[in-house]
């Protein structure tokens, strides 16, 4: 199991890349894998062999415009982790914040 965060965009002179990014996000959503999109990255969860083809397809869709393409990928590879880490990882942090459970004392 792994969590991947990636950002893909054409390297063009235009200010807006939203149409190309929207196509990449559509491909991720149609994959059926757990995912979310923020202003900076799209996150997707699954096994390495099922996620990487989705990232490649999203990148290929953006590159179809014929421009150079920028791709940034970050992976949190979690052997033996149960599915659902895309949400539970955030929940654990929020729980710590809500209970005031801080690992380091403030100075």
The whole model's pTM is what?
0.85
Domain assignment present for 73: yes
Note the pLDDT of residue 98. 92
CA distances in angstroms from 30 to 54, 78, 88, listed in the order given = 9, 24, 22
Note the pLDDT of residue 12. 75
* pLDDT category of residue 37 using cuts at 50, 70 and 90: very high
Domain assignment present for 30: yes
Residue range of the domain that includes 22: 2-99
Domain assignment present for 107: no
Note the pLDDT of residue 102. 64
Domain assignment present for 105: no
Domain CATH code at residue 35? 3.30.70.930
Domain assignment present for 61: yes
* pLDDT category of residue 104 using cuts at 50, 70 and 90: low
Domain assignment present for 54: yes
The total number of structural domains that make up the chain: 1
Domain assignment present for 47: yes
Dihedral sign computed on CA atoms, order 74, 77, 81, 83: positive
Domain assignment present for 14: yes
pLDDT digits (tens, 9 = 90+) for 58-86: 999 999 987 799 999 999 999 999 999 99
């Amino acid at each position: 199991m792994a969590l991947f965060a990636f950002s893909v965009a054409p390297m063009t002179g235009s200010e807006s890349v939203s149409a190309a990014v929207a196509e990449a996000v559509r491909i991720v959503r149609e994959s059926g894998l757990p995912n979310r999109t923020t202003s900076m990255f799209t996150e997707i969860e699954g096994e390495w062999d099922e996620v990487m083809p989705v990232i490649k397809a999203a990148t290929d869709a953006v590159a179809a415009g014929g421009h150079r393409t920028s791709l940034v990928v970050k992976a949190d590879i979690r052997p033996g982790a149960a599915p659902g880490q895309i949400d539970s990882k955030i929940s654990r942090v929020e729980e710590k914040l809500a209970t005031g459970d801080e690992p380091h004392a403030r100075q």
